[in-house]
Amino acid sequence: MEKIYMIPVNDAYNESCGCPVCRLRDKAENNYLEYYLGPSLMEPDTRKITNKTGFCPVHMGKLNQAVTNRLGLGLVMHTHLKDFHEELDPKLKASIPAKAGLLKGRNSDYKQKLNSVADLIEKRINTCPICDNLNEAMGHYIEVICWMFSHDQDFKGKFLNSEFHCLPHTAMLLRQAAKLSQNEASDFVDALYNNNAKTFEALISDVEYFTLKFDYRNTDKPWGTSKDSIQRSMRFLSSDGRDFDVQQSKKQS
Ligand SMILES: [Zn+2]
Ligand SMILES: [Zn+2]
């Protein structure tokens, strides 16, 4: 098993609150964001890739927020725009349908042309080297987590103590567990189930309490743990740790 993936996995499970796989993902994502805003920007090989791919909408937003290297971001954006324009412009122009006149008649060819230009745009705006790198790293991490659970008692203890795994990461771990032997899978999924069930039930009851707080008879009751339960539920369902949910829960108070 590859050591380079074991260290971050161990680190992520050293903390017991929240989903450890989300922590791994966030850390890896930040490393890639820094990489693409760092000296790699000036490397011709990286630029060849980013000229073609640009970044997906989510990562463009995150690069924009990381204000460390505005010039670098500008340079990458400039050459990516040029590359995109060079490919798209002639195809978009050629897709303008000719007017159907009395002599020329109708031609349904234009529909297919318009759809294929739309396909090209959608394909290009969704390609992203950060997503590709992240997906690859997450595949290794998930594999390492399952392996360490069966081979490293110390790690198994940390896994059992983790608060929960969010649902998207539970799904990834289940797929990996399907590759284990039946006995190994039995122990692993039992542990996964146990640390998930508590959180699931607690969220249901917290969100219910949250809704009951809107009844005027409950106005003076304390919020307890329900105040940020909507945001915690969103994170549990989506594995997304966006900052806006902190802002949103502040607004409620
Ligand atoms: Zn997660
Ligand atoms: Zn991306």
Of the candidates 131, 162, 188, which is a domain's last residue? 131
The distance from CA 19 to its chain's CA centroid, rounded to whole angstroms, is 14
| Same-domain check for residues 57 and 24 | yes
| Same-domain check for residues 115 and 140 | no
Q: What pTM, to 2 d.p., does this model score?
A: 0.83
Query: Is there a domain that residue 40 lies in?
Result: yes
Query: Is there a domain that residue 193 lies in?
Result: yes
| Same-domain check for residues 56 and 123 | yes
Ligand 2 (ion): residues with CB under 5 Å are: 56, 59, 128, 130-131
Mean pLDDT, range 27-54, rounded to an integer: 88
Virtual torsion, Cα 58, 245, 8, 171, nearest 10 deg: -80
Average pLDDT, the chain: 89
- Distance (angstroms) between ligand 2 centre and the Cα of 131 equals 4
- Distance (angstroms) between ligand 2 centre and the Cα of 59 equals 5
Ligand nearest to the CA of 20: 1
Query: Is there a domain that residue 6 lies in?
Result: no
Provide the domain limits for residue 45: 20-131
Q: How many CB atoms lie within 10 A of CB 22?
A: 21
**Using CA atoms, how far apart are residues 212 and 216, in angstroms rounded to an integer?**
9
- Distance (angstroms) between ligand 1 centre and the Cα of 226 equals 21
Supply the pLDDT for residue 72.
84
Ligand nearest to the CA of 63: 2
- Distance (angstroms) between ligand 1 centre and the Cα of 67 equals 26
Mean pLDDT, range 225-240, rounded to an integer: 89
**Using CA atoms, how far apart are residues 203 and 211, in angstroms rounded to an integer?**
12
| Same-domain check for residues 195 and 121 | no
Q: How many CB atoms lie within 10 A of CB 12?
A: 23
- Distance (angstroms) between ligand 2 centre and the Cα of 128 equals 5
Ligand nearest to the CA of 50: 2
Q: Indicate the pLDDT class of residue 104, thresholds 50, 70 and 90.
A: low
Tell me how many domains the chain contains: 2
The distance from CA 154 to its chain's CA centroid, rounded to whole angstroms, is 29
- For tokens 């990489």, the residue is 35
Indicate if the pLDDT at residue 202 is higher than 50: yes
Q: Indicate the pLDDT class of residue 1, thresholds 50, 70 and 90.
A: low
| Same-domain check for residues 141 and 247 | yes
Supply the pLDDT for residue 248.
52
Ligand nearest to the CA of 133: 2
- Distance (angstroms) between ligand 1 centre and the Cα of 24 equals 9
Supply the pLDDT for residue 101.
72
Residues 6+ apart with CB under 8 A from 155: 9, 10, 13, 148, 149
- Distance (angstroms) between ligand 1 centre and the Cα of 85 equals 37
- Distance (angstroms) between ligand 1 centre and the Cα of 3 equals 22
Query: Is there a domain that residue 171 lies in?
Result: yes
Indicate if the pLDDT at residue 252 is higher than 60: no
Query: Is there a domain that residue 145 lies in?
Result: yes
| Same-domain check for residues 141 and 243 | yes
Indicate if the pLDDT at residue 183 is higher than 80: yes
**Using CA atoms, how far apart are residues 234 and 247, in angstroms rounded to an integer?**
14
Query: Is there a domain that residue 1 lies in?
Result: no
| Same-domain check for residues 125 and 154 | no
- Kindly report, residue by residue over 209-222, the tens digit of the pLDDT: 999 988 889 888 98
| Same-domain check for residues 139 and 222 | yes
| Same-domain check for residues 94 and 186 | no
Query: Is there a domain that residue 176 lies in?
Result: yes
Of the candidates 68, 97, 131, which is a domain's last residue? 131
| Same-domain check for residues 117 and 25 | yes
Q: Indicate the pLDDT class of residue 253, thresholds 50, 70 and 90.
A: very low
Query: Is there a domain that residue 66 lies in?
Result: yes
| Same-domain check for residues 32 and 77 | yes
| Same-domain check for residues 104 and 92 | yes
Q: Which two tokens stand for residue 52?
A: 């073609």
Of the candidates 113, 131, 149, which is a domain's last residue? 131
- Distance (angstroms) between ligand 2 centre and the Cα of 250 equals 29
